[in-house]
Amino acid sequence: MALRPEKKLLPLVLSAKASNWSERRHDQEELGREFQKAKDKALQRDGYRCRFCGFYSRTDMEVSHLDSDHDNNDISNLAASCFFCHSLDHIGHSGSLKESVLIWLPEISQAQLNHIVRTCVVARFTCCDQPISASAKPGQKVSPIAEGPSILAAADAVMAALSDRAGEAERLVGTSSAKEMGNILQDMSIQRPDLYDQRGERLYGIRLFNLGVKMANGKNVISDHVKQWISPQDSGAYATGLKADTWKNVMTSVLGISQF
């Protein structure tokens, strides 16, 4: 779903400043009463739509601190952010949770990559032999969709091709570990802030690739998010289907996949 025309998408840059990378701090800020009030106001202002990629979700939208200062909870410093895009602010944290790795993918933007991965994740849970459903009762069996196997095969092929790009990231910047790059950027922000400010240009084409994982309290809860995204009651972005035919151009021209 596209962002409203009057709102321009904000840039996504790999980040991990000393003031925002701490896992303990990351958890504490979510509990802050002041932060929660400001977050709610920011999400309402932005219409529960990610300011970085345009994704809509009323149920699991987060916020990014635009100036990287997590003590600045002024609503003007907060922007609605899906967790795929928000992880760009904390690549070390995402890497430490084994949610993401770095890949080389200059052909498309980070925002486009996030949309593709999210769609593949939805396909993995809705086009399998035992698909999940937002409306199914506990224990109720959901029948597979007829075109499920072909869509699932396409999604798996896309994810595998993207994962293969990690090798190029290692060759170009010495690592595909988001945690390791987070440590590097954290040190750089302290010792060479001038270079840190140039990270977008210096790391051009390096993307953060989510592996289909969202950790919370030591568990991968990505399936809970998928249920929300496909829910008509929550106006989920995928409630009307996957539109998997739109993958064709990316699969052929970008990733070189031609068997589908």
pLDDT in tens, 133-161: 887 777 778 888 888 898 899 899 999 99
How do the domains of the chain map onto residue ranges? 90-254
Nearest-angstrom CA–CA distance, 181 and 208: 11
Q: What is the reported pTM?
A: 0.89
Q: What is the mean pLDDT of residues 94-103?
A: 98
pLDDT digits 0-9 by tens, 24-82 = 455 555 558 889 999 999 999 999 999 999 999 999 999 999 999 888 999 999 999 99
pLDDT over 90, % of the chain: 71
The beta strand positions in the chain, using DSSP E, are 62-65, 78-81, 100-104, 206-210, 215-216, 219-220
CB 99 within 8 A of CB 213: yes
* Cα–chain center distance at 67: 20
* Cα–chain center distance at 218: 18
CB 207 within 8 A of CB 113: yes
To the nearest whole number, what is the mean pLDDT of the chain?
A: 89
**Is 140 in a helix, a strand, or coil?**
coil
Nearest-angstrom CA–CA distance, 258 and 154: 10
